[in-house]
């Protein structure tokens, strides 16, 4: 990326000034406070109305006018790039920033805090409106990003975070962005589209992110997905991004996948909300809420997913292909076409996959899920828990699946299905779960092996129960605390939750102490 002449000159002046101060201090000619003072960081200002690209950019009165000019700056430790609040800027913003832990770089907003965030609108043919490229120790906050175009464009995104032939990109933080109306493709195989697209790759230098944080963002009306990664998924060339945190984001009116890390290790996904997903995807498409693909040690906890309407899958949570040691815990799911959770892996391809091993699903609450109103690729199919393919050593424990009456006779009423995806599950444990059904339900384990059921509650009518030596068919505490407040379960089970603000709206989240105390009382 080219640097402008002013910016280069500014750095030379700053360095010369620093050296002069050092020399003066050594000579004793300057008071000590002058020698120890911290240089004031440079800020660059963008104003699309009053600015001029011929200005210095170093004050609101000397602001630049265009994103093109702003994109010429390679930001160094402590510097800021600030866009005027209330303004709309057309084009693309390229961010290249090299901060440090002590002096991070900030890209954000300035001006009257009562005005809207500065809004960046991508060009008609643009694949992204903002890109953070080969950067580290940089925070991007308080911007609005739109990338609609005149027609859908495969792979279009709002924000692209890219690390290519770089090595390790450290400590990028995305905070408080609004990303909306991204018009990508609804078809995954064509490239889809997303609110945020995270890419790490390299032909010469393997590259990844370390400590990427995405929080407090509102992602609205983006086709196809909200947040999705592209990374090293092949175990023969494993170079995962590490210590990613996705926290406190609100995803609305996104029809496809919500949060999908790919090729990552030690990812934390918590306190996010996905709701009101429109039923607009083609019938060929599968999607779900929050799920890892080709990842290790993912934790998905304290999230809230409702109203997912994908033609296939549409579960709130999923542990997918080529994943190990995934934990899905303390999450809330309700009113989705699919069920609470999918755990799956194909048994066909093994050259670049370790399979799906050691998944744990615990202390989650599902209410009124599995209400798919039309056939999927396999007919009317929407079990509360779906296990597909050659997954190994899965533990399903201390969950509450509350299946309400379905609005039509042909809707699937299965509680658990464990079926084939080029193979069957082995060694799945179901322990101390509460399965409640308002209508006759069933367990279909097909040809899966090594299933163990222990100490579960089976409330309602079932065509047949699995072999569970400690099975319980009544639960006075559930009747007293949940069903007495309403047979649909909402009011009663909300006692296990607490409200939390996400992007200005209050949502219910599972309270860890309350749900654990509830299960402790069942002993």
Q: How far apart are CA 378 and CA 348, in angstroms?
A: 20
Whether 473 is in a domain gets the answer yes
In this structure, how many other beta carbons lie within 10 angstroms of the beta carbon of residue 308? 28
Q: How far apart are CA 24 and CA 16, in angstroms?
A: 12
Whether 482 is in a domain gets the answer yes
Whether 302 is in a domain gets the answer no
Strand partners, 139: 106, 173
Tell if the pTM clears 0.85, that is, is over it. yes
Query: Coil, strand or helix: which one is 388?
Result: strand
Q: How far apart are CA 453 and CA 465, in angstroms?
A: 10
The tally of domains found in the chain comes to 2
Q: Position of tokens 């999927």? A: 376
| For the chain, counts of helices (H) and of strands (E) | 6, 48
CB 464 within 8 A of CB 431: no
Query: Coil, strand or helix: which one is 402?
Result: strand
Closest CA to 340 of 311, 369, 360: 369
- Written as one string, the DSSP assignment of 25-73 is HHHT-S-HHHHHPPPPPPEEEE-TTT--TTS--SSGGG-B--HHHHTT-
Q: Residue 19: which H helix or E strand, with range?
A: helix 5-27
The token pair at 388 is: 């597909």
> What domain range includes position 399?
314-523
Q: How far apart are CA 393 and CA 409, in angstroms?
A: 35
Whether 257 is in a domain gets the answer no
Q: How far apart are CA 517 and CA 481, in angstroms?
A: 13
Whether 182 is in a domain gets the answer no
- The pLDDT of residue 41 is 64
Strand partners, 498: 509
Per-residue pLDDT of the chain (523 residues; tens, 9 = 90+): 334 433 444 444 443 433 333 333 333 333 333 333 444 569 999 999 999 999 999 999 999 999 999 999 999 999 999 999 999 999 999 999 999 999 999 999 999 999 999 999 999 999 999 999 999 999 999 999 999 999 999 999 999 999 999 999 999 999 999 999 999 999 999 999 999 999 999 989 999 999 999 999 999 999 999 999 999 999 999 999 999 999 999 999 999 999 999 999 999 999 999 999 999 999 999 999 999 999 999 999 999 999 999 999 999 999 999 999 999 999 999 999 999 999 999 988 678 899 999 999 999 999 999 999 999 888 899 999 999 999 999 999 999 999 999 999 999 999 999 999 999 999 999 999 999 999 999 999 999 999 999 999 999 999 999 999 999 999 999 999 999 999 999 999 999 999 999 999 999 999 999 999 999 999 7
Whether 327 is in a domain gets the answer yes
Whether 307 is in a domain gets the answer no
Dihedral, CA atoms, 380, 384, 390, 391, nearest 10 degrees? Answer: 160
Whether 266 is in a domain gets the answer no
């Amino acid at each position: 990326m080219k640097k402008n002449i002013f910016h280069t000159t500014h750095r030379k002046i700053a360095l010369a000034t620093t050296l002069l101060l050092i020399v003066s201090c050594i000579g004793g000619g300057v008071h000590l406070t002058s020698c120890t003072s911290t240089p004031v960081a440079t800020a660059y200002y963008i104003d699309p109305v009053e600015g001029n690209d011929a200005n210095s950019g170093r004050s609101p009165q000397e602001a630049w006018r265009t994103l093109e000019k702003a994109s010429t700056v390679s930001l160094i430790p402590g510097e800021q790039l600030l866009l005027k609040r209330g303004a709309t800027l057309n084009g693309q913003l390229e961010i290249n920033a090299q901060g440090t832990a002590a002096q991070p770089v900030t890209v954000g907003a300035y001006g009257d805090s009562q005005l809207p965030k500065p809004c960046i609108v991508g060009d008609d043919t643009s694949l992204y409106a903002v890109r953070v490229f080969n950067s580290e120790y940089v925070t991007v906050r308080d911007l609005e990003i739109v990338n609609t175009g005149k027609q859908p464009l495969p792979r279009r995104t709002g924000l692209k975070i890219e690390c290519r032939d770089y090595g390790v990109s450290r400590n990028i933080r995305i905070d408080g962005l609004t990303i909306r109306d991204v018009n990508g493709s609804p078809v995954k195989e064509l490239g889809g589209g997303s609110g945020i697209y995270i890419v790490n790759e390299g032909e010469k230098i393997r590259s990844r992110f370390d400590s990427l944080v995405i929080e407090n963002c509102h992602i609205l009306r983006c086709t196809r997905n909200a947040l999705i990664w592209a990374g090293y998924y092949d175990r023969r060339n494993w170079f995962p991004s590490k210590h990613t945190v996705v926290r406190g984001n609100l995803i609305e009116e996104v029809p496809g996948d919500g949060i999908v890390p790919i090729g990552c290790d030690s990812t934390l996904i918590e306190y996010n909300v996905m709701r009101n997903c429109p039923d607009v995807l083609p019938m060929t498409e599968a999607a779900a809420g929050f799920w890892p693909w080709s990842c290790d040690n993912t934790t998905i906890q304290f999230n809230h997913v409702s109203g997912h309407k994908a033609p296939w899958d549409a579960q709130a949570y999923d542990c997918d292909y080529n994943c190990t040691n995934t934990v899905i815990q303390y999450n809330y799911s309700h009113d989705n076409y699919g069920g609470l959770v999918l755990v799956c892996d194909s048994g066909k391809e093994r050259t670049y996959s370790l399979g799906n091993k050691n998944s744990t699903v615990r202390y989650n609450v599902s209410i009124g899920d599995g209400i798919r109103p039309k056939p999927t690729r396999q007919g009317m199919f929407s079990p509360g828990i779906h296990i597909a393919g050659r997954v190994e050593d899965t533990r399903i424990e201390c969950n509450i699946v509350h299946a309400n009456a379905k609005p039509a006779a042909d809707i699937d009423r299965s509680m658990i299905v464990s079926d084939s995806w080029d193979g069957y599950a082995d060694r799945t444990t179901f322990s101390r779960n509460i399965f409640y059904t308002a209508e006759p339900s069933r367990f279909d384990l097909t040809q899966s092996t090594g299933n163990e059921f222990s100490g579960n509650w089976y409330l309602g009518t079932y065509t047949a129960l699995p072999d569970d030596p400690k099975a319980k068919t009544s639960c006075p505490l559930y009747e007293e605390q949940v069903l007495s407040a309403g047979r649909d379960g909402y009011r009663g089970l909300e006692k296990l939750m607490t409200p939390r603000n996400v992007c200005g709206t209050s949502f219910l989240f599972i309270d860890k102490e309350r749900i654990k105390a509830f299960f402790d009382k069942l002993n």
